[in-house]
């Protein structure tokens, strides 16, 4: 059996296991895998820059797109299987996950309550928060405890919401922040099988996959998926908020929960999970100078929009590694675009962009 045959069998085994899990179609899949020739040229061309492929999970289309659509396909199906009528989740006030959960609730014909962490009692109705309202979500604001960690006093409020929904005769289903649970992890196990198939069909074997790492559900799915599917690349997470070592432990736990749900024997160890902490900046949701440069570079070279919270920081890491020679020109890398475009239309980003552009 050739290595290619082994890869196909590994991917087929994963796809068969996933087919046994409840799933509702919410995303437009497969998402494109595109060549970033303009970006490569902007970073010095073939002599200085590796080949760059972009996995366009910003184009999943649900609720303006993003990576959470993959997780929500399994989470909403799980909610339905339990007879739930209300989706409840938490996040920062500009949470992409919250916005996409609200959109998923619309598609599924369910009620949605969002418990959102905010530093203000009256945050600006812009970006994701505006879309939350347009999708009809009920919003409960809670004060921020630590902006660096993007956490608030939400547990008690979630418990209140659950009690209120039950008292009203509804059946609540609580989705953890970022959709980061064993069920949600299935989304990026499937996403990995999709990507590995695209790469194999194109005859491409990249050495590294860059992505933005937040609540760690995506990390868990990508890392376990790479192991299950015998991917050629190493999974390289770039942290957008603090919280180690608890977050690594969460990623390991939910990845192994997902493996159990899928009845697969593989498990992750802590050392399997890589997260670069050097690009967080001043905290979650706060743009960095390197991230702002990355936004401009992607926009001008590829007409691709990054966001100031997640993808810009992951792109900044990739760009630094290319410029420093840590990733050599003979390699190929994949950048996973996880979405987040609504954050570009907030006052915080406009102010940061304007300040950077000012003479």
Alpha-carbon torsion (290, 66, 185, 83), positive or negative: positive
Whole-angstrom distance between the N-terminal and C-terminal Cα of the chain?
61
> Which are the contacts of 271, defined by CB distance < 8 A and separation ≥ 6?
none
Residues 345 and 351 sit within 8 Å (Cβ to Cβ): no
Neighbours of 44 (CB within 10 A): 12
Catalytic-labelled residue, pool 95, 181, 213, 312 = 95
**Catalytic-residue membership of 120:** no
Alpha-helix runs per DSSP H in the chain? 3-18, 37-42, 68-81, 96-108, 127-134, 155-167, 182-202, 217-228, 246-261, 289-302, 311-324, 347-357
Residue 252 CB contacts under 8 Å (≥ 6 apart), including other chains: 220, 268, 269, 270, 272, 273
Q: Are 187 and 73 in contact (CB under 8 A)?
A: yes
Residue 151 CB neighbours (<10 A): 20
Q: How far is CA 301 from the centre of its chain?
A: 23
Residues 6+ apart with CB under 8 A from 170: 85, 86, 111
Residue 54: HSE in the Cβ half-sphere, 13 Å Cα cutoff:
25
Q: Which residue in this structure is represented by tokens 């570079």?
A: 297
In a 10 Å sphere around its CB, with 0-12 CB exposed, 13-18 middle and 19+ buried, how is residue 231 labelled? buried
Tokens of 165: 């929904």
- What distances in angstroms separate CA 40 from CA 27, 321, 324, 336, one per listed residue? 29, 13, 15, 16
Catalytic residue numbers read 95
């Amino acid at each position: 059996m050739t290595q290619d045959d082994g890869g196909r069998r590994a991917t087929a085994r994963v796809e068969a296991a996933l087919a046994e899990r409840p799933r509702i179609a919410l995303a437009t899949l497969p998402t494109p895998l595109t060549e970033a020739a303009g970006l490569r040229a902007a970073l010095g061309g073939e002599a200085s820059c590796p080949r760059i492929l972009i996995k366009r999970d910003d184009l999943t289309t649900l609720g303006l797109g993003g990576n959470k659509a993959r997780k929500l396909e399994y989470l909403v199906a799980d909610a339905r299987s339990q007879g739930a009528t209300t989706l409840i989740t938490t996040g920062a006030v500009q949470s992409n996950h919250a916005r996409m959960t609200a959109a998923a609730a619309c598609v599924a014909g369910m009620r949605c309550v969002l418990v959102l962490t905010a530093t203000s009692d009256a945050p600006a109705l812009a970006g994701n928060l505006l879309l939350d309202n347009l999708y009809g979500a009920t919003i409960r604001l809670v004060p921020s405890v630590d902006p660096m960690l993007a956490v608030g006093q939400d547990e008690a409020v979630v418990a209140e919401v659950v009690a209120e929904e039950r008292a009203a005769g509804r059946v609540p289903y609580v989705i953890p922040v970022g959709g980061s649970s064993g069920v949600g992890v299935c989304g990026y196990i499937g996403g990995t099988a999709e990507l590995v198939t695209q790469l194999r069909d194109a005859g491409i074997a990249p050495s590294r996959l860059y992505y933005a790492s937040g609540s760690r559900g995506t990390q868990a799915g990508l890392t376990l998926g790479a192991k299950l599917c015998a991917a050629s690349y190493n999974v390289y997470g770039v942290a957008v908020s603090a919280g180690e070592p608890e977050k690594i432990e969460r990623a390991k736990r939910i990845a192994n929960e997902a493996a159990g749900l899928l009845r697969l024997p593989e498990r992750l160890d802590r050392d399997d999970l890589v997260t670069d902490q050097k690009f967080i900046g001043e905290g979650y949701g706060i743009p960095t100078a390197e991230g702002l440069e990355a936004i401009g570079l992607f926009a001008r070279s590829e007409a691709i929009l990054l966001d100031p919270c997640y993808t810009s920081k992951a792109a900044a890491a990739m760009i630094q590694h290319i410029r420093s020679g840590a990733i050599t020109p003979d390699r190929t890398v994949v950048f996973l675009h996880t979405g987040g475009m609504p954050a570009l239309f907030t006052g915080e980003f406009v102010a940061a962009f304007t300040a950077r552009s000012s003479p």
